[in-house]
Amino acid sequence: MIKLPRFRSPSLRNAISSLLAVIVAIAISTIIIVVVGKNPFEVYSIFLRETLGNPYGIGQVLFKATPLMFTGFAAGICFKAGLFNIGAEGQLLIGAFCTAIIGYVFAPLPPVILVPLCIIAGIIGGGLWGIIPGFIKATFGAHEVINTIMMNFIAAGVVNYLVGNVFFVPATVHTPEIGINANLPRLESFATFFHGSPVNLSIFLALGASILLQFYLSRTTFGYEIRATGLSQDASRYARIKTSRVMIWTFFLSGALSGLVGTNYVLGYKHYFELGFSEGVGFIGIAVALLARNNPIAIIVTALFFGILEYGSLTINVIIPKELANIIQAVAILSIITLTKVFDRYQIRLMEPAK
Amino acid sequence: MNIVEMQHMTKRFGQYVANDDVSVQFQEKSIHAIIGENGAGKSTLMKMLYGFHTPDKGIIRIRGKEERISDPSRAISLGIGMVHQHFMLIPALTALENIILGDEPTRYGSVLDIRRAEEEVISLSEKYGLTLNPRHRIQNLPIGSQQRVEILKILYRKADIIIFDEPTPVLTPQEVHSFLTSLENLRAEGKTIILITHKLSEVFTVCDRLTILRQGKVVLSCEKTETTPHEVARLMTGQDLPPSPGKDTIRSEDKTVEFVNVSSRSRISPDSLKDMSFYLRRGEILGVAGVEGNGQASLIQLVLGFQHPISGRILWKGKSNIPSAIAYIPDDRIKNGMISDFTLQENLLLGRHKELEFSHRSVFQRTPVNAFSSRVLSEYDVQPGNPSLPIRNLSGGNQQKLVVGRELTKDSELVVANQPTRGLDIKAIEFVHSVLIRERNRGRSVLLISSDLAELLKLSDRIIVMYEGTITGVFDSSATTDEELGLYMTGVKRQVTS
C-alpha cells in the first residue's frame, strides 16, 4: 500500500547516496594503503580474489553477512521507532547462550522439535534482554543509548560467569556441545560449491526474516504504529497509539532479531557458545542498518557488503597488518555513515530547489 | 518617495512559476500589505527582497539605487529586516541575548558589553512602545512578547524596512491589537512596513496601501481607500465566495456531553479547570472563547479522555462511559494532527488504523483503504490528491483539509475543533466553516475552541467564555458582540451563577 512516486523516487535517491559513499570510502582506504607504502592494486586484487573470486570466499562472505543481517534488522527496527539500540551485542550474547544451552540440555529431542526450540530460545533470550532497556526507556524516560550500553556490560558479565563457572568444558571458553539433532546443516551438504565454508541454513532464516519484517512494517497496524511512533510521538498519542507499549515491543523484536545470531554460529557452525564469538557484529549492525536506511530488504544488500569487508579484511592480512585492516574497515564504515548524510542533503537540495 | 521598487520580478521553481513579472513599489514611512491566497507568491516575492531567493528576472531598487541582494546579510546591511512566521529564537536564552545574538557589543576587543546592550535595547523598546523585560527567558514569554523580541532584533540591527510574514495568526486578539498599534508606532518613527497577510480586517485597519497577488501575478495594487474588503476578497480568490450554508434551528435537547462541576489539575499547563459546568446539545455548535491559557487545553484533554477530572463528572449522553472515537481537529496540525513524513494515505489512517474496516487481523486491507482515501481526498478537495505523496509536499490549507476530512469521517457524535482555521487562507477557512456547519445540521455536536471571535460569532449557536479555568459567561451568539465577549474574556465582567 505504500507506493513511492516513480519520479524523484526517494529509494533511488537513497541508493545513489549510499553508493557514492561507498565509492568515497574506497578512495579514502586507497590513500591509507598508499601512505603505509603498500600497493593498493595488489591489496584490492587479493581482497577481491579472496572474497568474491572463489566459491570458498563467497561462502565465507555469506557466513559473515548472516549475523550482520540479524543485527542490521535489530538496529533498523529500533531506528524505525525512533530508538537507538546499541544493545544488540548484549542481546545476541544472551540469545546465543540460550540457544546453546537448550541445544545441550534437550539434546535427545528429534531435530524437527529441537531446532525450532533452540531458535525460539534465542528469540526469547535476546528479546527479554531487549525488553529491559525498552521498559526503562518507556517508563522512566532514561535514554536508551545508556541503558543498552549498560545492558551490554551486564550481558557480557553474565555469560562470562556462566561459561566460566556453570556450563563449561574444562580448559576452554565454551559451553558443552549441543546435541547433533540441534545442528543446522551447512550449505555444502546441499551444494558442493560451498565446500569447506561454514555458511549454513540460517542465512535463509535471515532472508525470510527480511521479507516478514518488510511486510510487518509496511502492511500491518503494528508496523504502522512503530513508524508513527518513530516519526512523531505527539501525533501518535493523539492517534491513540500507546507509544510506551510500542517502544517496549519494538525493543523486544529488536532483541529477538539479535538473538537469532546464535543460529548462525551455535547451530550452524561451532555447535557451542564460545566467549568472544560475536566480534562486534552487534555494533556493525548499526552501520548496516544506517547504510540501508533501515529498509529490511536493503539490509540484506548492505549486510553482504559489510560481510565482504569483514572477511576481506582478514584475507589481506597476508600483506597488511591486521590492525591496519581493522583501521581501514572502521574508516570505511565511518565515511559511509558520514557521507550518506552529506550526499542526502546535497541531493535533496538538487532535486527540491525550494517550496 | 518609493523606498523599495521591485520591477518585473520573475521566479521559477522548476516548472512552477512562483512570481510572474511582478512589479511593486513601497513608499517610505507607510504600511503596505501584500495579500493573496497560500501559494499566490507573497512569500517568494519577499524572500527575493530579503535575499533568500535570487530572482530569475527583475530589478530591485532600494532608495533609488539598483541592488543585487544575494543573501540575507546583504539585505540587513541595506536596512531590510524580516520577521518570519516561525520565530527564530533560542528558548533558553533571555530576550536580550536573543536580540544581540550575532551582533554583540563588546569592549576591550572581545568582552561582551551586556550593560550597553541592555541600555540600547531598553531605549529601543521605549521608543517604539514595544514593552518587554529584556532579562526574561524566551521560553517563559508569551507568543506576543516573543514577537516583540523578533521586532527588536531587527530594530537593533538598524533596519528601516521591516517585512512581516503572516504575523498575527499565532497571536491572541489582545496581542493582535497591541501588535497593530506597534506597527503604527513604527510607521510614526519613520519605518516602512511590509505586511504579508490574508486577514482583511488587519489590512483595512492599519495599512496605507495594498497589493494583491494571485497565482504569481499582481491583480491589484492601490491605496486602501480605493478599494473595499469585498473587492479584495474577490480578487484574491478569483471568484465570489459561496455563502456558508445556513443553520437550521436546534431541534434536540439531547445532551451529547455535559460537564458537571468539573475540576482538573493539569500536568501539561498551569491552566486547570475549576468547578466548570456546561453542556453541548445534539446539532449544536458550542463556541469556547477565551484568551489562550485559561483552561482550554485542559478542557480538551478532559473531553478527549487523555486526562481525568479530580472532582466533578463528565457525562456522555447522560452516562459516564466515554465514546471510543472522538473527532478531533487539533490546533497544531503539524505537531499533533499529522506526520509530515507519512504519505497522504498513511496520514488518513492516523488514529483510524485499527478500525475494522481498514485492517483485518492487523493487516491493512488495500481495497477499503484505497477506497476510503480517494473518497476523503476528493470529498474534502485535498490538492494534489495523490494518496502516495508525502503530506509535507502539501500546502497548509490542504493538509488541514485532510485532517478535517479524516476526523469528520470518524464515527463520532462529537466533533472537537481546536483553532480549526488558524493559519489558513480565506478559501480554506470558508471550506472548514461550511463543513462544520454541515455536520452540525446533520445532528452532530461541535465544540469549537477559537481565538478568532468573528469565527466564534459566525459559527456558534452558543458561546461560553473561559477565564482562569472557569466559565465567566454563556451567550447566545446572535445576542452578543465581540466587545462584550472581550470583557468576560479578561475577567472584567462575569455572569452571576445561581
**pLDDT value of residue A97:** 97
Q: Is A235 on the interface with B (CB under 8 A)?
A: yes
Binary contact (A231, B337; C-beta < 8 A): no
- Chain A CB contacts of B340 under 8 Å are 231-232
Flag whether pLDDT at A171 surpasses 80. Answer: yes
In this complex, do B328 and A235 lie within 8 Å of one another by their Cβ atoms? no
Identify the pLDDT of residue B269.
52
Shortest distance, CA A304 to any CA of chain B (angstroms) = 29
- The grid cell for B371 is 477506497
Calculate how close chain A gets to B49, using CA atoms only, in Å. 16
Per-residue model confidence (pLDDT) at position A9: 64
Query: What is the strand order of the sheet B255-263 is part of?
Result: B276-281, B255-263, B311-316
pLDDT mean values, one per 10 residues, chain B (498 residues): 91 83 93 86 90 91 91 91 86 91 80 87 87 87 85 90 85 79 91 88 89 90 89 80 70 88 73 90 93 86 91 90 90 91 95 92 94 94 89 88 95 94 83 93 94 89 91 90 82 72
* Chain B interface includes A141 (CB < 8 A): no
pLDDT tens sequence across A52-92: 999 999 999 999 999 999 999 999 999 999 999 999 999 99
pLDDT at A355: 37
Asked whether A196 and A59 are in contact (CB, 8 A), the reply is yes
Task: Kindly give the pairing relationship between strand B31-35 and strand B209-214.
Answer: parallel
Query: Are B340 and A222 in contact (CB < 8 Å)?
Result: no
What pLDDT sits at residue B32?
Answer: 95
- Report how far apart the first and last C-alpha atoms of chain A are (Å, whole number): 27
Higher-confidence residue of B232 and A8: namely B232
Q: Is A221 on the interface with B (CB under 8 A)?
A: yes
Which pLDDT value is given to residue A49? 92
The answer to whether the beta carbons of residues A128 and A200 sit under 8 Å apart is: no
**Which residues of chain A are within 8 Å of residue B362 when distances are taken between CB atoms?**
220-222
Residues of A in Cβ contact (< 8 Å) with B354: 221
Provide, as residue numbers in chain B, all residues whose Cβ is less than 8 Å from the Cβ of A224: 346, 349, 353, 364
**Higher-confidence residue: A328 or A118?**
A118
Q: Which residues of A touch B384 (CB under 8 A)?
A: none
Residues of chain A neighbouring B333 (CB-CB closer than 8 A): none
pLDDT on residue B106: 80
pLDDT given for residue B145 in this prediction:
86
Tell me the torsion sign for CA atoms B394, B395, B396, B401: negative
- CA angle (B114, B115, B120) in 5-degree steps: 100
What's the whole-model pTM score? 0.80
CA distances from A89 to A114, A173, A279, B276 (A): 25, 18, 9, 54
Nearest-CA residue of chain A relative to B16? A355
* Ordered DSSP codes for B364-380: E-HHHHHHHHHHHHHHT
Cell of A169: 568444558
Chain B 354-373, residues with CB within 8 Å of chain A CB atoms: 354, 359, 362-364, 366, 369-370
Work out the minimum CA distance from B326 to partner chain A, whole angstroms: 10
pLDDT of residue A88: 96
Nearest CB among A1, A5, A234 relative to B336 is that of: A234
Q: Are strands B311-316 and B363-364 parallel, antiparallel or unpaired?
A: unpaired
Q: Which of B22, B10, B12 is nearest to B220 (CA)?
A: B22
Q: Does B341 touch chain A (CB under 8 A)?
A: yes
Residue B221 touches chain A, beta carbons under 8 Å: no
A229/B406 Cα distance (integer angstroms): 19
Name which of B13, B342, B370 is nearest A354 (Cβ-Cβ). Answer: B13
Interface of B with A in 40-59 (CB under 8 A): 53
Q: Is B343 on the interface with A (CB under 8 A)?
A: yes
Q: Residue B498 has what pLDDT?
A: 45
**Is A6 an 8 Å CB contact of chain B?**
no
Mean pLDDT of chain A: 89
Q: What is the mean pLDDT of residues A149-153?
A: 96
Q: What was the pLDDT predicted at A1?
A: 41
pLDDT tens for A174-230 read 999 999 999 999 999 998 899 889 999 999 999 999 999 999 999 999 999 999 999
- What dihedral do alpha carbons A81, A83, A87, A93 form, nearest 10°? 0
Handedness of CA B143, B149, B154, B160 (dihedral sign): positive
**Cα torsion B216, B422, B34, B390: sign:** negative
Put simply, the answer to whether A224 touches B386 (Cβ < 8 Å) is no
Altogether, the residues listed in chain B come to a count of 498
pLDDT band at A114 (very low <50, low <70, confident <90, very high): very high
| Mutation site, A231, A232, A237, A348, interface B, largest B CB count within 10 A | A232
Average pLDDT over residues A36-44: 88
Partners of residue A237 in chain B, C-beta under 8 Å: 306
Q: How far apart are CA B191 and CA B183, in angstroms?
A: 9
Structure confidence by residue, pLDDT tens digits, B63-116: 999 999 988 889 999 999 999 877 888 989 999 999 988 878 888 777 888 888
- Which residue in A has a C-alpha nearest to residue B347's C-alpha? A228
CA–CA separation, B398 and B441 (whole Å) = 24
Task: Give the closest of B337, B363, B370 to A235, CB-based.
Answer: B337
Query: Quick one: average pLDDT of A292-304?
Result: 94
Name which of B14, B350, B389 is nearest A239 (Cβ-Cβ).
Answer: B350
Q: Across the interface, do B388 and A4 touch by the CB < 8 Å criterion?
A: yes
Residues of B in contact with A6 (CB under 8 A): none
Does B359 contact A220 at a Cβ distance shorter than 8 Å? yes
Burial B154-185 (b: 16+ CB within 10 A, else e): bbbbebbbbbbbbbbbbbbbebbebbbebbee
Is A227's Cβ below 8 Å from some Cβ in B? yes
Inter-chain residue contact B338 with A235, CB threshold 8 Å? yes
Query: Rounded to 5 degrees, what angle do the CA atoms B375, B380, B383 make?
Result: 95
A-chain residue closest to B392, CA distance: A355
Please tell me the distance in Å from B114's CA to the nearest CA on chain A. Answer: 37
Nearest CA in chain B to A7: B389
* pLDDT of A351 strictly over 70: no
Contacts of B312 (CB under 8 A, 6+ apart): B259, B260, B261, B262, B263, B275, B276, B277
Checking if the pLDDT of A343 tops 80, the result is no
Is the Cβ pair B337, A238 closer than 8 Å? yes
C-alpha B144/C-alpha B352 separation (Å) is 36
Predicted pLDDT at B319: 86
Q: How far is B445 from chain A (nearest CA, A)?
A: 20
Helix (H, G, I), strand (E, B) or coil at B42: helix
The amino acid that residue B337 corresponds to is G
Question: Which of B335, B352, B354 shows the shortest C-beta gap to A235?
Answer: B335
